[in-house]
Amino acid sequence: METRLAVIEDALLLAALHAASFTHGVWNRPQITDSLANAAVLTWVVTEKGDIKGFAMLQQAANEAEILTLCAAPAARRQGIADALLNQILVHARAAHISKIFLEVAEDNTPAQKLYEKHGFKMTGKRPRYYQRDTGAVDALMLTLEIV
């Protein structure tokens, strides 16, 4: 596995990966392209034999940042891709003197919650009924990592 920064030419593949990874709130190609073009957003991809297996987007504002999305291809889950992406974000955060990282995760996404908890994220809030599902709405857990 290799990790690299994404380029505009990755937008179509990233949009397809996002659609394969999430059932609701999927980002389309123009949204991904806009994010890739935004100087405040860094996007990393994990590749294996040239194929993109996952990606993460981090938006920085001053000394704080937000993980906008992080996903691994469904067929490549449980292979350390999300962990590699989160490690890359943390390496960047320390080098860029980011003091806090924020994110939101669906309350029913237990694997993601465990990943973030493993890296020291703590729940700091909740957005009731934030994520829409076919079976109803699910709360968003707001997580924060303080970097010292």
Q: Which domain holds residue 93?
A: 2-146
Q: To which H or E segment does residue 98 belong?
A: none
Query: Residue 83 belongs to a domain with what CATH number?
Result: 3.40.630.30
Q: How many independent structural domains does the chain possess?
A: 1
Is the pTM value of this prediction over 0.85?
yes
Report whether pLDDT(125) > 80.
yes
Single-letter residue type at 21: S
**Which pLDDT tens digit goes with each residue over 48-104?**
998 999 999 999 999 999 999 999 988 888 888 999 999 999 999 999 999 999 999
Mean pLDDT of 96-114: 94
pLDDT at 1: 87
Q: Which single residue is written with the structure tokens 């691994």?
A: 72
The dihedrals phi and psi of 131, each to the nearest 5 degrees, come to -95, 130
Alpha-carbon gap, residue 65 to 129, rounded angstroms: 24
Mean pLDDT of 133-139: 86
**Which pLDDT tens digit goes with each residue over 30-50?**
999 999 999 999 999 999 998
Mean pLDDT of 2-22: 93
* Radius of gyration from C-alpha coordinates of the chain: 15
